[in-house]
């Protein structure tokens, strides 16, 4: 009888040890999940946000490309990730190839990357040659009236004149900033005087977003 009680006691102790080990493993798994969930969210959310752009129509009727939905008249443009190439692919945009010949001619004349001029037009007007911004910028490359006069662009809604004038103006920015594309884009958007004075991309949300979007679309066109 005494031997039976000892065996029963040993068996009970063994069960308790096994149960304790199982409980420890469960606690370890729960702790691991609590570590992985925030990390997974951290990795996923930026990618999801980065992959969405909107094409919005302003009150003046101009088309604006942005990563923030700023009005009710916005269309989502998803930048789909190509699993084979690990690059973002550009969704088709109406008239995106309509001005390729004019862009190539102007880019060659003023020694600017054709794809870069196309990216600027993409962001500025969405290839709408009749686009007018709330500030009065007109046409494919959104030339301001004063800039159009200086460039002798008499009809900013004419694609040939607008692309030629806008590309010539951007070449001027490139020469002023020693070929630095980011500074040249900032100057195209915010004006060369400000960029020259501070020597960097201004801390203006619109300008910083503009530079970022043009460079991003420039890379996507390059990778197509």
The catalytic site residues sit at: 124
Phi, psi of 160 (to 5 degrees): -65, -50
Within 10 Å of residue 114's Cβ, how many Cβ atoms?
Answer: 16
The DSSP letter of residue 143 is B
- Helix, strand, coil fractions of the chain, as percent rounded to 5: 60, 10, 30
**For residue 51, which of 88, 10, 3, 94 has the smallest C-alpha distance?**
88
CA-to-CA distance for 15 and 74, rounded, in angstroms? 64
Residue 62 contacts residue 133 (beta carbons within 8 Å): yes
CA distance 65 to 128: 12
């Amino acid at each position: 009888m005494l031997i039976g009680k000892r065996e029963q006691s040993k068996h009970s102790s063994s069960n308790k040890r096994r149960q304790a080990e199982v409980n420890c493993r469960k606690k370890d798994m729960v702790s691991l999940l609590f570590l992985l969930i925030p990390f997974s969210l951290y990795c996923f959310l930026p990618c999801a946000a980065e992959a969405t752009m909107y094409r919005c129509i302003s009150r003046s009727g101009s088309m604006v490309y942005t990563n923030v939905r700023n009005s009710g008249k916005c269309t989502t443009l998803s930048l789909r990730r190509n699993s084979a190439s690990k690059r973002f692919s550009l969704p088709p945009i109406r008239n995106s190839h309509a001005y390729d010949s004019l862009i190539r001619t102007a880019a060659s004349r003023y020694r600017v990357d054709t794809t870069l001029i196309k990216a600027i037009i993409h962001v500025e007007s969405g290839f709408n040659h009749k686009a007018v911004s709330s500030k009065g910028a007109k046409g494919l490359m959104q030339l301001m009236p004063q800039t159009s006069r200086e460039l002798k662009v008499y009809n900013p809604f004419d694609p040939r004149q607008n692309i030629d004038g806008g590309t010539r103006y951007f070449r001027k920015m490139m020469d002023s900033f020693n070929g630095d594309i980011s500074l040249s884009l900032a100057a195209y958007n915010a004006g060369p005087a400000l960029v020259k004075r501070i020597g960097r991309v201004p801390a203006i949300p619109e300008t910083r977003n503009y530079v970022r979007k043009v460079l991003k679309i420039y890379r996507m066109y390059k990778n197509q």
